[in-house]
Amino acid sequence: MDGLAYLHLAETWETPADRNPMLNWKHHLNYFASAPLLFLTIALIIINSAIPAFALKRGDAGPEVAKLQKSLKEAGYFSKRVSGFYGSLTAAAVRKFQADNNLKVDGIVGPQTLSALKIGPENAKSEVDANISQKVDRAASPSTASNKPDPVKNTEPEQAKIPDLQDSNIPFPAATEKPDRIKDTDKEILEKPLFQNRTSPETAENNDRKRPRRLVNSPEINDREMKLVKTISGNISPKSIVYSGDGLFFAQNMMYSHTVTVYDRNFNLVKTIPDTVKLANYGFSKFKGNYRGAPVEAAFSTDGKYAYISNYQMYGAGFDNPGSDRCSPRGKHDESFMYRINTETLKIDKVIEVGAVPKFNAVSPDNRLVLATNWCTWDLSVIDAGENREIKRVKLGAYPRGIVVTPDSKAAYVAVMGSANIARVNLKDYSVKWLRNVGNAPRHLTIDPNGKYLYATLNGEGNVAKIDIATGKVVDKVTTGEAPRSMTISDDGKHIYVVNYFSNTVSKVRTSDMKVRDTVRVNASPIGITYDPQTDRVWVACYSGSIMVFQD
């Protein structure tokens, strides 16, 4: 939906039966018995003619959104300028308003929310909304129903198989999370490599740099660069930096610092959270004493209340077979844990067991599920956010990494870095379909606010791909630099920001034509990035030991 969605209330009462008999109802129904139904139908018709059922959601744009933002601003919930675009800030304001007014907190502006905001016709009575709003609000949610042919091939029976070997020249993904720290001694794996290119993870990217390759949409450096406003240093080795959506920024510092460091918008260190836990206190009684983790990535609930932190591995008694960057399920590596941190107390309040070497994690927009990609068990952990436990493992193939969930929370896309493919996981029945041959070693994914385009960094070829979700086809690629790793997207979806690990740069790409508009140099090994829509600032995690903040 590009603008305001018009949903007809009476449609919720329709049936597929032939309507002609209803025109001759006197011949089939007792008048007095049917009178209440007749009056209700007439009332609905009158209401439907007077009140279009409005519904707005993230990704919409137009005068209706501007009117919504103005009303939220007047009510004290929205502080930014009225833009007419329904982005994350507008969604956050709507959710806060809904919570304060005892409405369903979903970020979708349906009839009840409109009525509470006093937007729309004066005769939009809440009593009527009480009867029908649940149907309307659900209808306002994005739907994947379509008569179009499915753009991706269903390969559910193949889930348990080792991923395709048909994709030629696919190296081991060079993720070098912890180079020279741990070596995988699984001889069976080393003797029977899974890919045709036997380059090790530690050297694959360097070798890839030497291979000549065609540039796609060669970068153009703009005279106007993003401006550096702050460099944060200290006892940190940030693998990622993630914005909470509520004014906090979490940096995950791996096993080199064993911490999560939390900053505010003024660049102050709010708290350093150690990764030490007593697993027995969280229900894992077989683990005695203290254990340390290795924080990799963070994902937040949509209200910013909880942060979910993946740990590369655990340190302590009983964890004797840790995973590494080159591994497989045959290695039977130690499974790890995800921490849940309460962002008000900044304390770990839950611990959730997942697979071996969990890398990326994501929370569904409806806050129902938390997902984690397990690098060494080659699968996806599905966690019930209400129960804080794993409820499903979905087999994907070698080295699953980036995750993005669709705006309607119905599907998740997962980059399988040991291939050229992206998996689409149905979050209802957990079936898997595939976007094939997207590019070499897809690592990080993001999706535009409308849910129309998917973007993927292709670590193995130095490009970023733009994928039309409706067709499943790559519509464009752009070369940003050597080994594009992570990326983030602006609130309006007009730009993506990409860190290029070996180029030591950050690229700003215009999504409409996939042109590089700005490129700035950063400290060594940029690997994580996040965007603050409130300030239009981009935070960059440099693995070498700093966080750089740019004003766009």
Out of 106-110, 164-168, 224-228, least confident range: 164-168
* Tens-place pLDDT, residues 339-373: 999 999 999 999 999 999 999 999 999 999 999 99
Mean pLDDT of 166-184: 37
* Tens-place pLDDT, residues 151-164: 555 444 343 343 43
Mean pLDDT of the chain, nearest integer: 79
**DSSP-assigned letters across all residues of 178-229:** STTT-----HHHHHS-SSS----HHHHHHHHHHS----SS-----SSPPEEE
Instruction: Tell me which H or E stretch contains 74.
Output: helix 63-74
pTM of the predicted model as reported, rounded to 2 decimal places? 0.71
Question: Confidence band (pLDDT; 50, 70, 90) for 39?
Answer: low
Mean pLDDT of 410-435: 98
Question: Confidence band (pLDDT; 50, 70, 90) for 472?
Answer: very high
Residues 6+ apart with CB under 8 A from 235: 257, 259
Which CATH number describes the domain made up of 153-551?
A: 2.130.10.10
Domains of the chain by residue range: 5-140, 153-551
Question: Confidence band (pLDDT; 50, 70, 90) for 37?
Answer: low
For 519, half-sphere exposure in the C-beta direction (CA atoms, 13 angstrom radius) is 15
Instruction: Tell me which H or E stretch contains 128.
Output: helix 126-140
Is the pLDDT score of 248 beyond 80? yes
Mean pLDDT of 394-421: 97
* Tens-place pLDDT, residues 49-90: 444 446 888 777 777 787 788 888 878 888 777 877 788 788
Is the pLDDT score of 91 beyond 70? yes
Check residue 126 and give its pLDDT: 35
Neighbours of 185 (CB within 10 A): 10
Token pair belonging to 548: 């750089």
Check residue 324 and give its pLDDT: 92
| Whether the Cβ atoms of residue 336 and residue 316 lie closer than 8 Å to each other | no
Distance CA 259, CA 252 (A): 7
Say if domain 5-140 classifies as CATH 1.10.101.10.
Answer: yes
Distance CA 37, CA 49 (A): 18
Helix, strand, coil percentages for the chain (3-state, nearest 5): 20, 35, 45
